[in-house]
Amino acid sequence: GAMIAKFMIEPFIKIYYKAPEYLGAVDAVELITESGRRLVEIAGELREVVVVGANDLAGMYAPGPEGVYLVGTGTVGVAQAFFTLGAIYFVIMLCAAFGYRVPREGWKPAGWEPPAEDKQKSMITQHHVHIDEALKTRQFYQLWVILCFNVTAGIGVLGVAKTMMSEIFGSTLPHIVDAAFASTYVLMISLFNMIGRIFWASSSDYLGRRNTYWIFFTLGIILYCSIPYTAQQVSVNPSVVWLVYFYAATMLIFTMYGGGFATIPAYLADIFGTKYVGGIHGRLLTAWASAGVFGPLAITSL
C-alpha cells in the first residue's frame, strides 16, 4: 500500500497545489518592517509577506520567480491529497468489510470433509472465547502492550527514516546519499515491511508466537541502540561500511515492525480461538492507534 500511495500522492498534490500570491520583485514592492515581520500595505491594510530568494525557490513544490509573496495565500496541497487518499482507503475497506461474516454454527464448504483427527494438527486451544470475555482477560491487555511497544518503535523510526538517512549520511557520503537515494530508501522500507509480514508470520508457526516476539524485542533493542553509535562513527570515519550497516539494521527493524502486525492475529487465535479472532483483533488495533501518537512524540522528545 505504501509503495502504491507513493505514486498516487504526487498527482493529487499537483491537483490541489496552489502557489502563494506573488506581489512582485523586492525592489518593486514597498516593504514595512515591524518587530521582525515584513509587511506591505494592500487596500489600506497591512499584510504579512515573505521575501523568497534563489536559495528558497528550491524548497517550493512549483518554483516561481524571486520576490515577495503574500503570507496565508496558496496551499501546498498535501493535506488535501492525504484526505483524498483516506477517502479512497475508506471506500475500499468498507466494501471489503461487507465481504466478511462469521459463519453459522456447523457450516462447512460444500463437499469438504474435515481430515481425520490423527492426520490433522490440533490447535493450541480448542475453545472459542467471546469478544466480551476476551476483553476481561489479562492476556488481551498484555498483547495490547506488546503490540503498542512494537508499533511505537516502528512508527517512531518510520517518521524520521528519510531525515536520518539524509542528515547522518548526506553530509559525510554526499557522492552516494542524495535525494534520489533517500527516496529509494523509503520505498525499500515499504518492501521490507511487506517481506517481514510474510517471513515472520510464517516463521512463527515453527518458532512459536512467544519466541517470535522475544526475538522482536531482544534483537530490536540491540539494533536501536546501535543506530546512535553508527551515526557517531560515520561522522568520525565516513566509511560506506557504516552506511551499509545502518541500511541493513533499519530494514531488519522494519521487517519486525511488519512481522509484529502479521503475527498478532495468529497469537490471538492461539489464545482465544478462531471464531471471534476478527473482532478481538479489531479491538487490539487500538494499540496501533495509540502507538501512532506515542511513536512520533517519543522521537521528538529524544
Instruction: List pLDDT tens digits, range 183-200.
Output: 788 889 888 999 999 999
Going by pLDDT thresholds of 50, 70 and 90, the confidence category of residue 119 is: low
Domain boundary among 74, 99, 116: 74
Instruction: List pLDDT tens digits, range 235-255.
Output: 888 888 999 999 999 999 999
Instruction: List pLDDT tens digits, range 77-109.
Output: 888 998 999 999 899 989 988 887 777 777 888
State the pLDDT at residue 138.
Answer: 93
Place of cell 528558497: 56
Domain boundary among 74, 93, 117: 74
Domain range for 56 is: 19-74
d(CA 80, CA 30): 34
Considering the domain architecture, whether residues 63 and 134 belong to the same structural domain is answered as: no
In a domain, 86, yes or no: no
In a domain, 52, yes or no: yes
Going by pLDDT thresholds of 50, 70 and 90, the confidence category of residue 59 is: low
State the pLDDT at residue 153.
Answer: 79
d(CA 171, CA 162): 14
State the pLDDT at residue 117.
Answer: 61
Place of cell 515491511: 193
Closest CA to 233 of 222, 245, 221: 245
How many folded domains does the chain comprise? 2
In a domain, 94, yes or no: no
What predicted TM-score, i.e. pTM, was given to this entire model? 0.69
Choice between 221 and 62, residue whose per-residue pLDDT is larger? 221
List the grid coordinates of 56. 528558497
State the pLDDT at residue 245.
Answer: 92
Beta-strand relationship, 22-24 and 45-52: unpaired
Going by pLDDT thresholds of 50, 70 and 90, the confidence category of residue 2 is: low
State the pLDDT at residue 160.
Answer: 78
Considering the domain architecture, whether residues 69 and 143 belong to the same structural domain is answered as: no
Going by pLDDT thresholds of 50, 70 and 90, the confidence category of residue 121 is: low
d(CA 280, CA 140): 9
Domain boundary among 37, 57, 74: 74
Inform me whether the pLDDT recorded for 181 exceeds 60.
Answer: yes
In a domain, 223, yes or no: yes
Instruction: List pLDDT tens digits, range 13-48.
Output: 888 888 888 888 877 787 888 777 888 878 777 888
Considering the domain architecture, whether residues 134 and 68 belong to the same structural domain is answered as: no
CA torsion sign for 88, 200, 123, 132 is negative
Sequence length of the chain is 302
d(CA 243, CA 249): 10
State the pLDDT at residue 58.
Answer: 63
Is the distance from CB of 76 to CB of 100 less than 8 angstroms? no
Partnered with residue 132 across adjacent β-strands are: none
In a domain, 11, yes or no: no
What burial letters (b/e) apply to 23-52, b meaning 16+ CB within 10 Å? beeeeeeeeeeeeeeebbeeeeeeeebeeb
Q: Which of 1-5, 40-44, 98-102, 282-286 has the highest mean pLDDT?
A: 282-286
State the pLDDT at residue 36.
Answer: 77
pLDDT averaged over every residue in the chain: 84
d(CA 202, CA 120): 18
d(CA 195, CA 201): 10
Output the CA angle 193-16-161, nearest 5 degrees: 25
State the pLDDT at residue 114.
Answer: 73
Considering the domain architecture, whether residues 159 and 232 belong to the same structural domain is answered as: yes
Closest CA to 280 of 148, 106, 141, 89: 141
d(CA 10, CA 282): 31
Instruction: List pLDDT tens digits, range 145-155.
Output: 988 888 887 88
To 10 degrees, what angle do helices 138-158 and 277-284 make? 50
Choice between 162 and 217, residue whose per-residue pLDDT is larger? 217
CA 232, chain centre distance (Å): 26
Considering the domain architecture, whether residues 183 and 52 belong to the same structural domain is answered as: no
State the pLDDT at residue 211.
Answer: 93
Is the distance from CB of 151 to CB of 262 less than 8 angstroms? no
Q: What is the 3-state secondary structure (H, E, C) of 141-176?
A: HHHHHHHHHHHHHHHHHHCCHHHHHHHHHCCCCCCC
